[in-house]
Amino acid sequence: MQKKNIFRTVLVFALVLMILAANAIQVSASNPLAPKTKTPTPTPITPTPTGPIPTTIGNIIPMPVSITSTGGSFVLPSTADIYVESGMAELTAIGQYLADKLNPSTGYGIQVLTTNGAPPNGNIYLTTVGGDATLGDEGYQLTVTSNLVTVVGYKPAGLFRGIQTIRQMLPAAIENVTLQPGPWKMATGTVRDYPRFAWRGSMLDVARHFFSVADVKRYIDLMASYKLNVFHFHLSDDQGWRIMINSWPNLAIYGGGTQVGGTCTNCYYTQAQYSDIVAYAQSRYITLVPEIDMPGHTNAALASYAELNCNGVAPARYTGTNVGFSSLCISKSITYTFVDDVIRELAALTPGAYMHVGGDEASSTTTADYVSFVSQVQTIVQAHNKQMIGWEEIAQINGLSASSVAQHWNTSDSFAPTAVQKGAKVLMSPAHKAYLDMKYYRKTQLGQTWAGLINTQTGYEWDPATIVNGVSGGSVLGVEAPLWTETIVTMSDIEFMAYPRLPGYAELGWSPVTGRNWNEYKVRLGSHGPRLTAMGVNFYRDTVVPWQ
Ligand code: NGO
């Protein structure tokens, strides 16, 4: 009996020694600090206990249109660089984005170089030469051989989407910001890919709670990694006005002084900060759509300027969470001067085609007044060369333009079919499926329940093209997941509500509907756990997902 125990102890000890030795070999063989042609960033290695999680070509989210696996592997060598075709500064910037993602974890000091043809083996190559027009502006073809990684896009946007696929085909540890042991292996094969819908977005409400420029940028960056392309910025509501309007400065200075729960110091973006966010989104091929909510949800504006109120008296600022009590004064001409000034200033700062004018829950406005107001707002938006988008209630106006968009949200009283009958397109954000502020479960600490509980499965199992009767085919512009922030206070809260649901909405917007199902998706999503962890995302470990 005793002998047996000793034998067992020796065996375990030998095994431990063998494992340690094997690990040492693995780390030294791939040690990024080993001599090579370039000087790596001297950050200490944080070893991953289990080693890099192997990725397969089949774990990409959103699921690509087509994947052909050739069964081999490409190992990113420490000498690797990213080559882009010469004469296109835009491609150099895309290459740099990828280099900036790969360098901290690999320590390879990857540079972006230009070339007039395929580069030497052992590199990454991004080009629009030979790009396939049938893949569209955001489509790409990624080819990984044992020698080279090549992304060909018809347009630079396609290359940017394609490099997100490269990130996901590398081990999850690539997303760390500290040096990690390799090897940085990718499966070989070909991915041909393009999006199903033109609009794949998320909205962030910075009015109920204010978020810093850095937080907003992080949200945009996380969106980019799942190929989303529209950032809807909810900039005003009853509780706060968040953008400096030079012709009406009190909106930001006074109206930006509150949020849900109390006061908030300087809680607005200067125009320079707004432009910085626009440019940040643009460099990730994400269009920013600003929203100024009206005629309801306007208490912060009404509190800032007495003349915007029908009775000429400014109400107190509001820090609660009720909706539907405020309205701009529909009959006063100053109201339209205000709207025109705000939209003119914002349009000048916004390169995207759309201006979101809210239009939801105008319960303090009669229908006749509402219709008259929104009709005039549509004229103003178009006068500033933008297309109007509003929450679906805007479909009630008689002259709804075909270029205007109604955003479906209210599942009990939908105006989406009316919008389609008038020739306009619909953006899908059904509250019971796509609202990121709904709780996952009854006991989720954050969020609301008015539209129902949305766990990761519920959030994934629907189709934007069939969810509303009378709104299908070409009438559906895309899908957007709004994050309202009545109960959301920190960036960590934002991440908890958006992840892991947002990658699912990204897939609904990007991937073909055929062949998609929850049972397959949940496994793929589970494989993204280590990736989200490496990105530092505070995601919710929903138990319906088999997390790796
Ligand atoms: C509604 C309302 C918002 C709330 C949100 C909370 C729309 C379009 N208007 O959605 O003001 O913040 O619900 O879930």
Ligand 1 atom closest to residue 297's alpha carbon, by position in its atom list: 11
Q: Which residues pair with 187 in a beta bridge?
A: 73
Q: Are 23 and 30 in contact (CB under 8 A)?
A: no
**C-alpha to C-alpha distance for 299 and 315, rounded to whole angstroms:** 7
How far, CA to CA in Å, does 500 sit from each of 224, 229, 479, 483, 531? Answer: 15, 18, 16, 13, 12
Q: What HEC string does 198-267 produce?
A: CEEEEEEECCCCCCCHHHHHHHHHHHHHCCCCEEEEECEECCEECECCCCCCHHHHCCCCEECCEECCCC
How far, CA to CA in Å, does 23 sit from each of 28, 29, 31, 52, 531? Answer: 8, 10, 12, 12, 22
Check residue 318 and give its pLDDT.
Answer: 98
**C-alpha to C-alpha distance for 439 and 461, rounded to whole angstroms:** 16
Ligand 1 atom closest to residue 437's alpha carbon, by position in its atom list: 14
**C-alpha to C-alpha distance for 240 and 265, rounded to whole angstroms:** 11
Q: Which of 484, 486, 487, 488 to mutate to test the pocket of ligand 1 (most atoms within 8 A of CB)?
A: 484
**C-alpha to C-alpha distance for 384 and 348, rounded to whole angstroms:** 8
Ligand 1 mean position, distance from CA 139 (Å) = 33
Check residue 513 and give its pLDDT.
Answer: 94
* Protein residue closest via CA to atom 8 of ligand 1: 360
* Protein residue closest via CA to atom 5 of ligand 1: 484
Active-site hit among 345, 361, 480, 486? 361
Enter the DSSP assignment of 427. Answer: E
Ligand 1 mean position, distance from CA 253 (Å) = 25
Q: Which two tokens stand for residue 512?
A: 């073909």
Check residue 13 and give its pLDDT.
Answer: 38
**C-alpha to C-alpha distance for 533 and 418, rounded to whole angstroms:** 44
Tens place of pLDDT for every residue, the chain, 548 residues? Answer: 344 444 444 333 333 333 333 333 232 222 322 223 333 333 333 333 333 444 578 899 999 999 999 999 999 999 999 999 999 999 999 999 999 999 999 999 999 999 999 999 999 999 999 999 999 999 999 999 999 999 999 999 999 999 999 999 999 999 999 999 999 999 999 999 999 999 999 999 999 999 999 999 999 999 999 999 999 999 999 999 999 999 999 999 999 999 999 999 999 999 999 999 999 999 999 999 999 999 999 999 999 999 999 999 999 999 999 999 999 999 999 999 999 999 999 999 999 999 999 999 999 999 999 999 999 999 999 999 999 999 999 999 999 999 999 999 998 879 999 999 999 999 999 999 999 999 999 999 999 999 999 999 999 999 999 999 999 989 999 999 999 999 999 999 999 999 999 999 999 999 999 989 999 999 999 999 999 999 999 999 999 999 99
Residue 178, classified by CB atoms within 10 Å of its CB into exposed (0-12), middle (13-18) or buried (19+), is: middle
Ligand 1 mean position, distance from CA 87 (Å) = 47
Q: Which of 232, 321, 361 to mutate to test the pocket of ligand 1 (most atoms within 8 A of CB)?
A: 361
- Residue 435 region by backbone torsions, left for phi larger than 0, else alpha for psi between -120 and 50, else beta: beta
Contacts of 311 (CB under 8 A, 6+ apart): none
Check residue 55 and give its pLDDT.
Answer: 54
Ligand 1 atom closest to residue 391's alpha carbon, by position in its atom list: 8
Q: Rounded to 5 degrees, what angle do the CA atoms 113, 174, 79 make?
A: 35
**C-alpha to C-alpha distance for 17 and 256, rounded to whole angstroms:** 62
Residue 321, classified by CB atoms within 10 Å of its CB into exposed (0-12), middle (13-18) or buried (19+), is: middle
- Number of Cα atoms under 13 Å in the Cβ half of residue 516: 24
* Structural domains of the chain, with CATH: 6-193 (3.30.379.10), 199-534 (3.20.20.80)
Ligand 1 atom closest to residue 293's alpha carbon, by position in its atom list: 11
- Kind of pairing, strands 258-259 and 262-263? antiparallel
**C-alpha to C-alpha distance for 293 and 359, rounded to whole angstroms:** 6
* Protein residue closest via CA to atom 3 of ligand 1: 484
Active site residue 361: yes
- Number of Cα atoms under 13 Å in the Cβ half of residue 14: 6
Residues touching ligand 1 (Cβ under 6 Å) are 323, 360-361, 391, 409, 435, 437, 448, 484, 486
**C-alpha to C-alpha distance for 160 and 142, rounded to whole angstroms:** 11
pTM for this model (two decimals): 0.90
Ligand 1 mean position, distance from CA 199 (Å) = 20
* Protein residue closest via CA to atom 13 of ligand 1: 484
Check residue 314 and give its pLDDT.
Answer: 98
Residues in the chain: 548
Q: Which residues pair with 186 in a beta bridge?
A: 74
* Protein residue closest via CA to atom 12 of ligand 1: 484
Ligand 1 mean position, distance from CA 484 (Å) = 7
